[in-house]
Amino acid sequence: LWFDGQGLMLLAKRLERGRFVWPQAHEGRVALTPAQLSMLLEGIDWRMPVRTHVPALAA
């Protein structure tokens, strides 16, 4: 659930492969940074993200 100040939104996503990697809950809560949430929703393991593009060095 996401509260945007006007109401609640319910988001759902299913991965074709793999699973979502959630951080440990503390006192029944999970805290995510915006970057962690973005990676979670893309199915990326935020604990060890893998760079898939290496920028070329300028000549």
Tokens 């898939």 identify what position?
Answer: 52
Here the tokens at position 18 are 């793999």
Q: Give the global pTM.
A: 0.50
The 10s digit of each residue's pLDDT in 1-58 is 778 888 988 888 777 777 777 778 889 888 888 888 888 877 788 788 776 667 788 7
Here the tokens at position 17 are 């492969």
Q: What is the pLDDT of residue 43?
A: 78
Query: In three state form, how does the secondary structure of 1-46 look?
Result: CEECCCCEECCCCCCCCCCCCCCCCECCECCCCHHHHHHHHHCCCC
